[in-house]
Amino acid sequence: MNGMPVTAEEMSVPAAELTIVGHFDNRPGYATRRVSGSPSWLLMWTQDGAGLVEQAGVSFTAGPGDLVVLGADAAQHYRVAPGAERWRFWWAHFQPRPAWLGWLAEHARAPGCHLVEGVPEPTRAQIDEAFGRAARNARWLPPAARSLGEHPPPTRPAHAPGPRPADASAERPSPAERPAREYAPAVAVSGPARELVLNAVEEVIVLATASARLVGDALRAEEPGDARVHRALALIAAEPGAPHSVASLARAVALSPSRFAHLFTAETGHPPMRAVRRARIRHAARLLEVTDMDVGQVAAASGFVSPFHFSRAFSHEYGMPPRDFRSRLRPTP
């Protein structure tokens, strides 16, 4: 193309049945316009810089931490945003699974045009890893095919996003400092490869929609009380067996331990560690109900220091020891 930006008039539009994933790092002047749209859906995850997106009669800018999901058959025009020095983003063409439409619905800017804004920093790394996995899995071949002389899928280059070996140097530059690179688009040809790529795309959509600011704002509007207390309760519920403490929970919500303990108690009516203990006991009760783990294993998996302490706390909450609780739920024939 003699160094000129690639446009849809110069390249074929992806066919509806194709699943493709790739990565661009484009400079000002890059633009793609599809007057008739695309038969496939398009997802773009911005890592650095900004892109200007136009579809279905709306226009918006996507910056780092923003996920754009565009439906099929609507005119598309996207380019490096005016004033931006670059637009570095992952992208994928695909056909969505039915459940995805519900997750994206509240982020719709227009029919078939979605913007999930402000995905928090910790989740951004997970999304980067999911895209890196999608790019590798698009080239997946079964071991039997490789043994017949076919080339294995290329390994991830050292600079590609995703997890690194444990012995990798900690002195690597940040993404913004790395040279501009463009990873070759990968087409998922086999059925298993397509499913693996769609699994990664689904992970991206779930992570983005569940953690974006819009979702957090909606939750806070529905649930009265301090958002930091809600966050702490969510952390406890998600992993009750973790070594939670007042200090660790306070750090997670950016408060001092004393301020956090006072706020938590005022909001919930009990101190943080009582909430942790109750969550651990409820978790243990579920394990007793649905697994064959012995009491000691249940105690350890639920965060108790010993079976004795677990049995005493459980009896206080449920009025019977763990073994009696299990036997009542699952009486022997």
H-helix or E-strand spanning residue 157: none
Whether the per-residue pLDDT at 327 is higher than 80: the answer is yes
At residue 219, the pLDDT reads: 47
Instruction: Give the separation between CA 68 and CA 76, rounded to whole angstroms.
Output: 12
What pLDDT digit, counting tens, does each position of 241-262 carry?
999 999 999 998 899 999 999 9
pTM over 0.75, yes/no:
no
Q: By the 8 A CB rule, do 292 and 326 touch?
A: no
Q: Where are the alpha helices (DSSP H) in 151-256?
A: 191-211, 213-222, 227-238, 246-252
What pLDDT digit, counting tens, does each position of 98-157 carry?
999 998 998 999 888 999 998 888 899 999 999 999 999 999 887 765 555 555 555 444
CATH of domain 224-333: 1.10.10.60
What pLDDT digit, counting tens, does each position of 140-198 carry?
887 765 555 555 555 444 344 444 444 434 444 444 444 333 367 889 988 999 999 99
Using left for φ > 0, alpha for ψ between -120 and 50, and beta otherwise, residue 83 falls in: left
Q: What are phi and psi of 31, to 5 degrees?
A: -160, 145
Which superfamily is assigned to 1-164+179-222 in CATH?
Regulatory protein AraC (2.60.120.280)
**In the predicted model, what is the mean pLDDT of the chain?**
82
* DSSP code per residue over 88-142: EEEEEEE---HHHHHHHGGGEEETTEEEE----HHHHHHHHHHHHHHHHHTT---
Whether the per-residue pLDDT at 72 is higher than 50: the answer is yes
Going from N- to C-terminal start, the domains of the chain cover 1-164+179-222, 224-333
Nearest to 202 by CA among 46, 96, 68: 96
What pLDDT digit, counting tens, does each position of 185-221 carry?
889 988 999 999 999 999 999 999 988 754 455 444 4
Instruction: Give the separation between CA 121 and CA 229, rounded to whole angstroms.
Output: 20
